[in-house]
Amino acid sequence: MLNLVFSDTLGTNITHLICKLNVSIKTGTMIILKKMRWILLLFLSASIGIAATSANTEYFEISKNLEIFATLYKELNSYYVDDIDPNEFMQEGIDAMLKSLDPYTNYYSEAEIENYRFETTGKYGGIGSLIKKDDDFIVISEPYENYPADKAGLIAGDKIVSVDGNSVKGKSSSEVSKFLKGEPGTTISVDILRPLADGSDQSLTLEITREEVKVKNVPFYGLVQDGIGYIKLGNFTQQASKEVKDAFKALKKDNPELKGLVLDVRGNPGGLLHESVNITNIFIDKSELVVFTKGKVEEWDKEFKTINEPIDTEIPLVVLTNRSSASASEIVSGAIQDLDRGVVIGQKTFGKGLVQTTRKLTYNTQLKVTTAKYYIPSGRCIQAINYAERDQDGAVKRLPDSLKVAFQTKSGRTVYDGGGIDPDILTEVEYLSDITVSLGRKDLFFDFATLYRAKHETLHDGKDFRISATEFDEFVAWLQDKEYDYTTESESLLNEFKEVAEEEEYFEGISTEFEALQIKISHDKKNDLQKQSDEIKRLLENEIVTRYYYREGAIENGFIYDTEVAKAVDILNDPNEYKKILSNQ
């Protein structure tokens, strides 16, 4: 049996003909009937021909372009003046092709499969440390607690000189990372230079046995105030839901009077879809719709409901978000909001509502391809950008507010689509000052913390550690011979004014006044250091605490300055306000 697909216009025409055919039968005009049958058959034949021609044309275009690509590659390989590396050349071509789609459709070569495995599982074989480039050296930026690097004695600030006798000077972070990663159980010899308090370097050789490293999805959980729990969720790799569940159970066990919970997904880029569903399931009933997907291929149209019994459906809940909360983070925060299960506080989320599926290719390569879009319980899509529509220059745009559509939460609150999750309580984005940004870019907070660690073997209390006035003065004095500069917003605007004035030929007449104004607003580093001392101290404290108490200590140390955590605590301590927000009053 033939299944025919008609265009809207063609279907209208055929319907019109059938109506005429019925008229013919009623009037008994058999001649007209026969003619109309022939016309109908002609239309049907034409429709089949159109469908076949369309399919043949598409296949021809694909075949034609593949042949062009192959012949182009052959000619370049044969006649280009220099030798071409086939792997590198093809990678460039594939990356350029995929760049025309969306940023999440990616090709993974055989050499990159390990990196992809880390993205989804959070596991890899290696020494367990973050590294970064500093001039010609690769520096340990953060060893993970109780993993090989930490157990062997590596600390933040150590400069890697060689690995197994192979010099790594001048190499990139990714190149050195390949040396450090490897099969668990294998041993490597690492030569380092350790900065000392007097400014010299100590040469050390450390033997490190690689292990399977699992980066925690929950780097910290604890109390932010009596009765108010806090869980930091950093990723959505495998076991993320188990980590959140275990953390929540531990909080409830250790604090029987727990009256509220803060789930922090700020800066969380997302990850595995099923983990976001299972995390939401901790707080909502079984069989509740959390998210559904729609794609071009029908098999990607799926609903994802909770399948487990929840841990707690009553405890007041706040989810913290910001502009870097994406994908799975948006599913959790959006579902919690749509189901009126908790209050969302922070900034509007990123707006990444595209689903990726992994397809295996030949020669142990893989394609991660966007196959569908996410929709949360109210029916709204969280994707902010339509990558299929671009300007003439290839740029994409976010959906304007004027085109957003209203949806309803379970209790009837109005929420909107258009990309990202709008918090129930919006907080201001905190921008660092120009001088603070400059100090960070030059790694001066990091370098001073390295010096501090060399001078102080221990730090008594990470949670309440604060830089003293004397220590801040030491930092300011240490900066005197360091290179860092910045342009303030006032200076930028003044330079723009000069450019416009020169274009319009006014500048010559005001040059004297301009120079006087330039001198007046020219930044003074010493003055700026004092004006921005509070935020500079905060970043210094956090960097120093990390040297002694790792990531967990840095998170806890930051609570005193965290206005969004403070707002969450206020809401959870005010049951009436909490209920008012969720009941749309």
Give the residue numbers marked as catalytic. Answer: 327, 338, 352
> CA 54 to CA 64: how far, in whole Å?
15
> CA 515 to CA 414: how far, in whole Å?
54
Closest to 174 in 3D by CA, of 90, 237, 112, 94: 112
Q: Which tokens go with 288?
A: 């509740």
Q: Where are the alpha helices (DSSP H) in 399-532?
A: 434-441, 444-455, 469-478, 489-503, 507-521, 525-531
Closest to 349 in 3D by CA, of 300, 281, 276: 276
Q: Angle of helix 469-478 relative to helix 444-455, nearest 10 degrees?
A: 120
Closest to 134 in 3D by CA, of 550, 444, 542, 479: 444
Report the DSSP pairing between strands 228-232 and 366-375. Answer: unpaired
Q: What is the DSSP string of 214-274?
A: E--S--EEEEEETTEEEEE---B-TTHHHHHHHHHHHHHHH-TT--EEEEE-TT---B-HH
Q: Per residue, what are the HEC states of 553-572?
A: HHHHHHHHHCHHHHHHHHHH
Q: Are 300 and 371 in contact (CB under 8 A)?
A: yes
Distant-in-sequence, close-in-space partners of 501: CB < 8 Å, separation ≥ 6:
507, 510, 514
> CA 384 to CA 461: how far, in whole Å?
43
- Supply the Cα-derived Rg of the chain in whole angstroms: 31
Distance of CA 148 to the CA centre of its chain: 28
> CA 306 to CA 284: how far, in whole Å?
8
Residue 533 carries which side chain, given as an amino acid letter? S
Distance of CA 157 to the CA centre of its chain: 27
Distant-in-sequence, close-in-space partners of 106: CB < 8 Å, separation ≥ 6:
98, 367, 368
Q: Where are the alpha helices (DSSP H) in 113-193?
A: 113-121, 148-152, 173-180
CA angle 160, 166, 172 (to 5 degrees): 55
